Homo-oligomer: A and B are copies of this chain.
Amino acid sequence: MQYYAVFAKYNLVLFNFDFMLKEERKQFILNEVRIHSRVLLTDLASLLKVSVDTVRRDIKELDKENKLKKVHGGAVSLGFDYYHIPSHQVYSIEKKAAIAEKAIHLLKDGQVILLSGGTTNLELAKRLPHKLHLTCFTPSLSIAIQLLSKKNVEVIFIGGRVSKDSQITVGGSAINMLSEIKVDLCFLGTNSIHPRDGLTEFDWEIVQLKKAMIHSSKKIISPSISEKLGSLQRYKICGPEEIDILITELEPWDSKLEPFKNLNIQLL
């Protein structure tokens, strides 16, 4: 439930209502989905103080209205990274948390970093130690908001047109801004990583943005849950040689990582 801690103040107010209309509940659910990209039925039920069945019915309707995608155990936002990924990945929170913890060890006081969108990076943003001094560039609204609560992190938002699907800025203006910076590290969340073809994406605009991010960074770190290893999408972001560090939830010697050895990529 730490998950909701940041927004606890909002939820509190919400419950000043004695009754909540169904419509309000649905709106609240959509809100949660938009902010967190994923929600669990059980969390929603306890937040809204209704039974899981009711939440399930609400989500079923919202799904039918094409406002979100219902998955086993919860719901995910439309068009986000999850869109075309098997639903079991919704449960990968623990894996992502493990990745985030490893990633934190790469950070040092005073560094300037770049965080792409995606839930793994969101997890990283949440878990940044409060005492760490950083300057973070990001094109993701949810990550920016998350980072605002870190006292010693300077947040610089990459402006431009905001894509409704992915909730990150895309387009020329963002790429332009990226062209003016050179950061120490870039945590490049990705949909697919392949030992031969490197990073790939299905959204053309996001590909352009990520390419620009790569050019703006001295070092590229790819946090990726093991399910994504070896998968491929339509458009190429960069070859495997561009990636400096690959972080998964696995141990570095795990056999699933075999294809990524001897590629001059550091495995964590």
Q: Please give the residue numbers on chain A whose beta carbons come within 8 Å of chain B beta carbons, in ascending order.
A: 9-10, 12-14, 16, 19, 21-24, 27-28, 30-31, 34-35, 38, 40, 69, 71-74, 76, 80-89, 141-142, 144-145, 148-149, 151, 154-162, 164, 167, 169, 173-174, 177
Report yes or no: B84 in contact with A31, Cβ–Cβ below 8 A.
yes
The answer to whether B34 and A86 have CB atoms under 8 Å apart is no
Nearest Cβ distance between residue A248 and chain B, in whole angstroms? 25
Bound Cα distance from A34 to B150, whole angstroms: 13
Instruction: Name the one of B21, B73, B155, B167 contacting A21, with C-beta atoms under 8 angstroms.
Output: B73
Across the interface, which residues of B come within 8 angstroms of A40, CB to CB? 19, 21
* Residues of B with C-beta under 8 A to A161: 154-157
Residues of B within 8 A of A9 (CB): 86, 89
Q: How many copies does the complex hold?
A: 2
Question: Quick one: given A16-B88, A38-B21, are A162 and B148 in contact (CB under 8 Å)?
Answer: yes
Q: A157-B162, A158-B159 are in contact. List 8 more A-B contacts (CB 8 A).
A: A10-B84, A13-B88, A16-B88, A21-B73, A23-B76, A30-B149, A142-B145, A145-B167
State in angstroms the CA–CA spacing of A76 and B23 once bound together.
Answer: 8
Q: When A27-B84, A141-B145 are in contact, do A76 and B21 touch as well, CB less than 8 Å? A: yes
Shortest Cβ distance from A161 into B: residue: B156
Query: What is the CA–CA distance of A141 and B139 in the complex, to the nearest angstrom?
Result: 11
What's the minimum C-beta distance from A169 to chain B, rounded to whole angstroms? 6
* Nearest CB on B from A8, distance (A): 11
Are the CB atoms of A34 and B145 closer together than 8 Å?
yes
A10–B86 CB distance below 8 A = yes
B13→A89 contact, CB < 8 A: yes
The listed residue with most B CB atoms (<10 A of its CB), out of A80, A88, A89, A156, is A156
Question: Whole-angstrom distance from the CB of A37 to the nearest CB of chain B?
Answer: 9
What are some 24 contacts across the A-B interface (CB < 8 A)?
A9-B89, A10-B84, A19-B73, A21-B38, A23-B71, A23-B80, A24-B38, A27-B82, A30-B149, A35-B83, A141-B144, A141-B145, A141-B148, A144-B162, A148-B162, A148-B164, A155-B161, A156-B160, A156-B173, A157-B159, A157-B160, A159-B160, A159-B173, A159-B177
